[in-house]
Chain A
Amino acid sequence: MIPELGQFALVLALGLALIQASLPLIGAAQGRDEWIALARPMAAGQFVFVAAAFLILTHAFTIDDFSVRYVAMHSNTALPFAYKVAAVWGGHEGSLLLWMLILAGWTLAVAAASRSLPEAYAARVIGVLGIVSVGILSFMLLTSNPFDRLLPAAVDGNDLNPLLQDPAFAIHPPMLYLGYVGFSVPFAFAVAALLTGSLDKRWARWTRPWTLGAWLFQTLGIALGSWWAYYELGWGGWWFWDPVENASFMPWLAGTALIHSLAVTDRRGIFKSWTILLAILAFSLSLLGTFIVRSGLLTSVHAFASDPERGLFILMLLMLITGGALVLYAMRAGRMEAEGGFKLVSREAFLLLNNILLVVATGLVLVGTLYPMVLDAAGYGTVSVGPPYFNTTFSIPMLPLVLLLGLGMHASWLGMRGETLVRKLVPAAIIAVLGGIVLTVVVSRGLDNVLTPIGIIAGLWVVIASFWDPIMRLVRRESRTVPLSRAQWGMIVAHAGVGLFVLGVTVTSAFTIESDQAMAPGDSASIAGFDFEFRGVREVEGPNYDAYEAEVAVRRNGSPVTLLAPQKRVYRVQRNPMTEAAIDPALRRDLFVALGEPLGGNAWSVRIQYRPMLRFVWLGALLMALGGLLAATDRRYRAEQRQAAEVTPGRLVGNTETA
């Protein structure tokens, strides 16, 4: 009975979403206050019912209700409690429900925080979010209902995919979805602006904190996913360019471009139509990405053809949302005349370059991801363009991007003399080059690739250039100047994160040492100055798996460093083996040991890796997210809200059509 209530809650939510997606939009167009006023209550009601459905599904998991097909497919009585909760989003239907819950949550947040916006505009934003809700809710109810019954009920469940039984995975999808779905907010702001027709630059100001919020969650989500892949997949890599990763990376790249282009529109009132287009692009790629990641529709593309109902629905949804927005764009974007141009050496010009390079990068990833998928969808078999394609092509736009970043941060709005800019940063550049050379010599054992020192110098350059202003202030003891704003600190921290990331990627990909060994108890292997002694394998038992656990003692120059215990697990229900690598992490280097196959006798194949500065990759991502947080919570956005509230006491019904 309870699962039926969940389904009923979804139906009610769809009903409210239909109202939210229609009446406020019509009301805003025709100036009907009572219809405009429907937007917020509908959004709140929709959130309540979606949350109820989500709780009911969670409840079904916690009580092992295997009469619900989705629960039977993705859980098991022996599954630890925390994973029963996380299993809610362990499959297609539940992921969609989580997606929907987060969309309803963002909508609610917009409804609550948009009091300072003109009422008609806020109603349009909420209305556009309602259209997205209608699409997702009907997709769920028509093709992917998580509450479908399984009669007779299963005796026990099929268990959660062992790969997903992991703490990082439990929080990875919610983070990622907060990002994916968060891009629906700038999308809705953009479409609402197109509907309004008049677009002043306040639009960009309102959109910025939301975009930063979505982007920072997306950053964390991707970083978590990469960290998870590193220790769970047992290959010891941290990024594989597979379609699932690319799916989350493309909206991130477009979102990064959007953040920067919003800054220009906000400050200078130019690039308006381009910013709107990026907002549409970022959310469209998010939609595409969601379906690639969790739907199983494109992961194994065969399902696309074999389940035409779902495939067709998704295509229609994309057509409707993206296509609709782009048609509107074609009709209205021309009205957004720029309020001026920009100079060659100016913040605007650098941000334009940033945008071009990021969009090119997005395009390269898109081509590399879709080409094999299209072939596969055509029943052609699985081909890979593989990491070589991505590594080569991706660095082409990325290298100039990071080199220009240091300059762009210090360029003034409206323009400045190029000479002034260069003179300011020459000392920083010299420090970066010298430091880069020293670091290259320290970390490398024989240089084989000219790109390595370039990458190291580029990373250092970005870090130093990011902190150049605060450093100079300290050095010159400029206490009289205005303190740096939180948004400026956000920019500094996020960009320093980019620098650390570049450093980490360069060093770890150039100087990783890996070795696959056949080891019997007592055998030792020496890698990068560390001695790994294999002490043997014993059997251990987990709650829902059996495992072989090896003991590997690590020493350096005779003194013990750590004791590593990699496992090879077999989960009892699904019977597939899983590698649990053992890792000794440190800022300077990671030591990674994974247990492979038994080779007969007492010998096992063992994979050992030494990865210098790998932690910088995730540390960089964390700093980027932190920078996003600082910037999103800057006073000026709150001041803007207070100000607007003071200027427009009571309610302001914005002008409706045209400008």
Chain B
Amino acid sequence: MMWRYAIPIVMFVGLGALFLNGLDRDTRTIVSPFLGKPAPEFALPQLEDPEATLSNATFGGRTSLLNIWATWCPGCRDEHPFLNELSESSGVPIYGLNWKDDRAVALTWLDTLGNPYTASGYDPVGDVGIDWGAYAAPETFLIGRNGTVLYKHIAPLTPAVWETEFVPRITEDCGSYPCK
């Protein structure tokens, strides 16, 4: 018996163990390496107006959200109505990062489903997404007044997550909720 013929079974068992473990574990403990650190530097043309720029400066020292979205992403469609609601009620400006997408399709999407974003950056290649450590869409970052990343949520934003994770941090950073 040569050891190399055992490689497949070892890999198979390894994958199986990983999968079983993954089922039990709470992966919400995965943290962004940027938590508590300054947000990555970026500058992108805006989706609606290619002449205008979305960058760290756009946050303007306010508590802000950066939401990574794309039209090919079903989870983004799921969370969209809630984002629309938040843009009305939370007092926190929501910036979009339109990721690996097509400008025309993305604009149609905003026309049809409503536009919760103060502005969206257009990142067709996905470079800025990589800088922000995006694995998959949707992801939402909470950025503090001093420009640091306060929290990162992977997967669609839900009212429950909003209440437990975002509202306390916004209240602390901004001084009140809804933020003024």
Contacts and interface: CB of A to CB of B under 8 A. Distances in A.
Q: Do A and B come from one complex?
A: yes
Interface of A: 273, 277, 280, 304-305, 315, 318-319, 322-323, 326-327, 329-331, 333-334, 370-372, 374-375, 377-388, 516, 605
B28 A374 contact: no
Nearest to B25: A378
5 contacts: A319-B16, A323-B13, A374-B23, A384-B73, A386-B100
A377 B139 CA distance: 18
B137 A384 contact: yes
Contacts of A315: 16, 20
B70 A386 contact: yes
Contact of A377 (B23, B108, B155, B156): B23
B16 A384 contact: no
Contacts of B78: 382
Interface in B1-34: 1-2, 5-6, 8-9, 12-13, 16, 19-20, 22-23, 25-28
Contact of A384 (B8, B13, B27, B136): B136
A435 to B, nearest CB: 29
A319 B26 CA distance: 24
A374 B136 CA distance: 13
Contacts of B25: 378
B121 interface: no
A382 B23 contact: no
B43 interface: no
A48 B88 CA distance: 65
B12 A326 contact: yes
A378 B156 contact: no
A304 B23 contact: yes
B124 to A, nearest CB: 9
B180 to A, nearest CB: 30
A452 B135 CA distance: 27
B162 interface: no
B138 interface: yes
B75 A381 contact: yes
A205 to B, nearest CB: 23
Contacts of A378: 22-23, 25-27
Nearest to B7: A330
Contact of A381 (B5, B72, B112, B154): B154
A331 B26 CA distance: 37
B27 A383 contact: no
Contact residues on B (Cβ < 8 Å of other chain), bracket: 35 or more
A383 B135 contact: yes
Nearest to B6: A330
A599 B76 CA distance: 23
A577 to B, nearest CB: 16
Nearest to A391: B100
A163 B8 CA distance: 39
A280 B100 CA distance: 36
Contact of B12 (A322, A372, A374, A384): A322
Given A331-B5, A375-B136, A382-B75, 15 more contacts: A280-B8, A326-B9, A329-B5, A330-B8, A330-B9, A331-B1, A334-B2, A370-B19, A378-B23, A381-B75, A381-B155, A382-B78, A383-B136, A383-B138, A388-B126
Contacts of B156: 381-382
Nearest to A377: B23
B74 interface: yes
Nearest to A384: B73
The 10 closest A-B pairs by CB, nearest first: A381-B155, A388-B100, A383-B136, A326-B9, A330-B6, A334-B2, A333-B5, A382-B75, A384-B73, A386-B72
Most B CB contacts (10 A, CB to CB) among A334, A379, A383, A384 go to A383
Interface in B72-93: 72-76, 78
B2 to A, nearest CB: 4
Contacts of A387: 72
A374 B20 CA distance: 9
Nearest to A237: B72
Nearest to B124: A388
Contacts of A375: 27, 136, 154-155
A384 B74 CA distance: 7
Given A329-B9, A330-B8, A385 B126 contact: no
A383 B13 contact: no
B28 to A, nearest CB: 7
A305 B155 CA distance: 18
B136 A323 contact: no
A286 to B, nearest CB: 15
Interface string B64-76: 0000001011111
A381 B155 CA distance: 5
Contacts of A277: 8
Contact of B74 (A319, A331, A382): A382
A330 B5 contact: yes
Contacts of A383: 73, 75, 135-139, 154-155
Contacts of B74: 382, 384
Contacts of A318: 16
A368 to B, nearest CB: 10
A371 B155 contact: no
Contacts of B100: 386, 388
Nearest to B158: A381
A334 B1 contact: yes
